[in-house]
Amino acid sequence: MKATAATLFAAAFLLAAPSTQAQTLQKTGVRPVPDIAAQAAAEYRQMARYPEWCQPVPDGQPDPLKAKRVPSHLALPRDDGGALEVWSSDIRFEKGDTAIIHARLVTPPGKDADMPRLRGAKRGLRGWKVGAVITGRQSGEVGKVTLRDDGLGVDRRRGDGIYTGSFTLPAAHEPPIGQAESLAVIVTARNSAGDEMKAVGGFQYSHPAAHLTGRVRDRLEDGNLVILAEAQVEAAGRFHLSASLHDVSGKPLATAQNAVRLEPGIHWIPLEFFGLAMSDRGASGPFWIDSMSLNTVSGIPNALGPMLENVHLTHPYRATAFHRRAFNRPDLIRAAERLERVSAARRARQR
């Protein structure tokens, strides 16, 4: 689970507790049980300060939108602790895009085959033949790819133990507009001795019904930063726009999202960055809209759109232009109040 401002608040709450717990332990010899209800209530109250559609990014944390788009390295460990690892150059592709597929043998240190450390392999797949089959539940077999470690084509370096191949998404298997299909990448490695290793990765074949044009505007409205992104909609549907806001040094400050239903044509989709997210950090503009994506959410799985980066530099805004009003989400406030009653009852029983 990704860190949130509320998570850090709860952590601070916990860090403040040991001195009291240590005093209790010294006096009674009994370690006190943490008040989990009170800790959770404090976290809910911190989360309630912001609306659901705009969340601050804790200081020091990466851009959460970009983090969601980082391809996973997947592997099937063997009994000896080794594994064949596979990953792709992106998590989603559209018709005509080229997916780069990688595979390598990893030999983790230690003896824990259930939790292998998949980085830092000490030996590669020299002498092995490696190939991949791309298949989907609806499409069946979409194609096959030979992976090589010869330094030619898409393979960057000969003999580095990373086998690489490319696959262009075919028009014949494109999903209907507004939909997507999850494709499995089944990689098999075999050597002349008859040894065989397998791993399964995957990516999405996406056909979103709308695309961002790259045109963006910004304005200040009631102490909030409002971003408007232009989109070309090709088919009616429901769409989800999300973006991250960074300061000029590249530090992520907040994310915002909005879901809208649109008809075909050109539309400007608004995003509101809640003023408190900037004023809490004392942040002044200009700001970067550093990442932005528009997904079609009319089916399952959602048809992911591309992640645009370095999208827009806003006008300069003073930190004092942003409001300091807490949103006070009613659902989270009620949850915090229930937990506080549980905590109070627990303390009463301990007296």
pLDDT tens digits for 337-347? 999 998 888 88
What is the mean predicted confidence (pLDDT) over 210-220?
A: 98
What is the mean predicted confidence (pLDDT) over 282-310?
A: 96
pLDDT for the residue numbered 26? 52
φ and ψ at residue 227, rounded to 5 degrees: -110, 135
Task: Please check the confidence at residue 3 and state whether its pLDDT lies above 80.
Answer: no
Please name the residues in contact with 210: beta carbons below 8 A apart, sequence gap of 6 or more. 231, 232, 233, 234, 235, 237, 239, 262, 294, 296, 305
What is the mean predicted confidence (pLDDT) over 177-205?
A: 93
pLDDT for the residue numbered 143? 96
- Cα(227)–Cα(312) distance, integer angstroms: 10
pLDDT for the residue numbered 115? 35
pLDDT tens digits for 61-118? 999 999 999 999 998 887 777 789 999 999 999 999 999 999 998 875 554 433 333 3
pLDDT for the residue numbered 28? 52
What is the mean predicted confidence (pLDDT) over 212-220?
A: 98
What is the mean predicted confidence (pLDDT) over 221-231?
A: 98
Identify the CA nearest to 134 among candidates 84, 96, 177, 100. Answer: 100
What ranges do the domains of the chain cover? Answer: 5-26+35-49+329-350, 54-67+208-321, 80-207
Identify the CA nearest to 5 among candidates 50, 57, 42. Answer: 57
Please name the residues in contact with 200: beta carbons below 8 A apart, sequence gap of 6 or more. 74, 76, 86, 184, 185, 186, 187
- Structural fold of domain 54-67+208-321: Immunoglobulin-like (2.60.40)
pLDDT for the residue numbered 128? 82
Q: Is residue 124 within 8 Å of 148, Cβ to Cβ?
A: no
Task: Please check the confidence at residue 11 and state whether its pLDDT lies above 50.
Answer: no
What is the mean predicted confidence (pLDDT) over 121-133?
A: 70
- Cα(250)–Cα(60) distance, integer angstroms: 11
pLDDT for the residue numbered 135? 97
Task: Please check the confidence at residue 185 and state whether its pLDDT lies above 70.
Answer: yes
Whole-angstrom CA distances from 207 to 59, 234, 289 are 35, 11, 25
- Cα(41)–Cα(39) distance, integer angstroms: 5
Averaged confidence pLDDT in the chain:
87
Q: Do domains 54-67+208-321 and 80-207 have the same CATH topology?
A: yes
Q: pLDDT confidence of 31, banded at 50, 70, 90?
A: low
Where are the strands (E) in 137-247, listed by range?
A: 140-147, 163-168, 179-191, 196-207, 210-221, 224-233, 237-246
- Cα(180)–Cα(6) distance, integer angstroms: 34
What is the mean predicted confidence (pLDDT) over 247-251?
A: 94
- Cα(201)–Cα(213) distance, integer angstroms: 31
Residue predicted with more confidence, 19 or 149: 149
Domain 80-207 CATH (choose: 3.30.230.10, 2.60.40.1930, 2.60.40.10, 3.90.1170.50): 2.60.40.1930
Whole-angstrom CA distances from 269 to 43, 220, 289 are 32, 16, 14
Q: Three-state DSSP class for 12? A: helix
Exposed, middle or buried by CB within 10 Å (0-12, 13-18, 19+), for 291? buried
What is the mean predicted confidence (pLDDT) over 256-274?
A: 98
pLDDT tens digits for 293-304? 999 999 999 999
Task: Please check the confidence at residue 122 and state whether its pLDDT lies above 90.
Answer: no
Q: pLDDT confidence of 257, banded at 50, 70, 90?
A: very high
